[in-house]
Amino acid sequence: MNLGILYKDNKIINHRSLFKVLMNPICRYFGFCFGTIYKNNKLFGYKIIKQKRTKIKWDFSNHNQFDYIEKRRMII
Protein backbone atom coordinates (compact mmCIF):
# COMPACT_ATOMS: atom_id res chain seq x y z
CA MET A 1 0.00 0.00 0.00
CA ASN A 2 1.53 3.30 -1.12
CA LEU A 3 0.74 6.26 1.13
CA GLY A 4 1.66 9.87 0.47
CA ILE A 5 1.22 12.47 -2.25
CA LEU A 6 0.96 11.04 -5.77
CA TYR A 7 2.46 13.11 -8.59
CA LYS A 8 2.12 12.84 -12.36
CA ASP A 9 3.94 15.31 -14.63
CA ASN A 10 5.06 17.20 -11.47
CA LYS A 11 1.42 17.89 -10.46
CA ILE A 12 -0.50 16.44 -7.53
CA ILE A 13 -3.11 13.96 -8.72
CA ASN A 14 -4.04 12.29 -5.43
CA HIS A 15 -3.23 12.01 -1.75
CA ARG A 16 -3.40 8.68 0.05
CA SER A 17 -3.25 8.58 3.82
CA LEU A 18 -3.97 5.80 6.28
CA PHE A 19 -6.90 7.88 7.57
CA LYS A 20 -8.51 8.07 4.11
CA VAL A 21 -7.77 4.44 3.21
CA LEU A 22 -9.44 3.19 6.41
CA MET A 23 -12.28 5.71 6.75
CA ASN A 24 -13.49 6.10 3.14
CA PRO A 25 -14.96 2.58 2.78
CA ILE A 26 -17.04 3.18 5.91
CA CYS A 27 -18.05 6.70 4.84
CA ARG A 28 -19.04 5.48 1.36
CA TYR A 29 -21.55 3.14 2.97
CA PHE A 30 -23.35 6.28 4.21
CA GLY A 31 -22.92 8.16 0.91
CA PHE A 32 -19.87 10.31 1.71
CA CYS A 33 -16.09 10.22 1.34
CA PHE A 34 -13.05 12.24 2.35
CA GLY A 35 -11.24 14.13 -0.38
CA THR A 36 -8.06 16.18 -0.27
CA ILE A 37 -8.10 19.93 -0.91
CA TYR A 38 -5.17 21.19 -2.96
CA LYS A 39 -4.51 24.39 -4.91
CA ASN A 40 -1.46 25.45 -6.88
CA ASN A 41 0.14 22.08 -6.15
CA LYS A 42 -0.09 22.52 -2.33
CA LEU A 43 -2.18 20.46 0.09
CA PHE A 44 -4.57 22.26 2.44
CA GLY A 45 -6.63 19.59 4.20
CA TYR A 46 -9.62 17.31 3.84
CA LYS A 47 -13.19 17.88 2.72
CA ILE A 48 -16.25 15.67 2.93
CA ILE A 49 -17.85 14.89 -0.43
CA LYS A 50 -21.35 13.53 -1.06
CA GLN A 51 -21.37 10.51 -3.35
CA LYS A 52 -23.32 7.39 -4.25
CA ARG A 53 -23.70 4.85 -1.45
CA THR A 54 -21.71 1.65 -1.83
CA LYS A 55 -21.13 -1.47 0.21
CA ILE A 56 -18.07 -1.52 2.43
CA LYS A 57 -15.17 -2.87 0.37
CA TRP A 58 -11.56 -2.76 1.53
CA ASP A 59 -9.40 -2.05 -1.52
CA PHE A 60 -5.79 -1.11 -0.85
CA SER A 61 -4.61 -0.91 -4.46
CA ASN A 62 -3.69 2.31 -6.24
CA HIS A 63 -6.28 3.57 -8.71
CA ASN A 64 -4.19 6.35 -10.22
CA GLN A 65 -1.27 6.12 -12.62
CA PHE A 66 1.49 8.20 -11.06
CA ASP A 67 5.14 9.01 -11.70
CA TYR A 68 6.30 9.15 -8.09
CA ILE A 69 5.06 9.36 -4.51
CA GLU A 70 6.24 11.82 -1.88
CA LYS A 71 5.90 10.02 1.43
CA ARG A 72 4.55 12.64 3.79
CA ARG A 73 2.08 12.64 6.65
CA MET A 74 -0.74 15.13 6.57
CA ILE A 75 -2.26 16.33 9.81
CA ILE A 76 -5.99 17.08 9.84
User: How many domains does the chain contain in total?
Assistant: 1
Instruction: Give 13-55 pLDDT, tens digit per residue.
Output: 888 888 888 899 999 999 999 988 888 888 888 899 999 898 8
- 74, part of any domain: no
- 47, part of any domain: yes
Among 74, 76, 75, 62, residue whose Cα is nearest residue 13: 62
- 42, part of any domain: yes
- 73, part of any domain: no
Give dist(CA 36, CA 43) in Å, integer: 7
Could you list the residue range(s) of the whole structural domain that residue 18 is in? 4-64
CB 24 within 8 A of CB 33: yes
pLDDT at 76 over 70: no
Give dist(CA 10, CA 67) in Å, integer: 8
- 60, part of any domain: yes
What is the four-CA torsion angle of 35, 66, 64, 38, rounded to 10 degrees? Answer: 20
- 26, part of any domain: yes
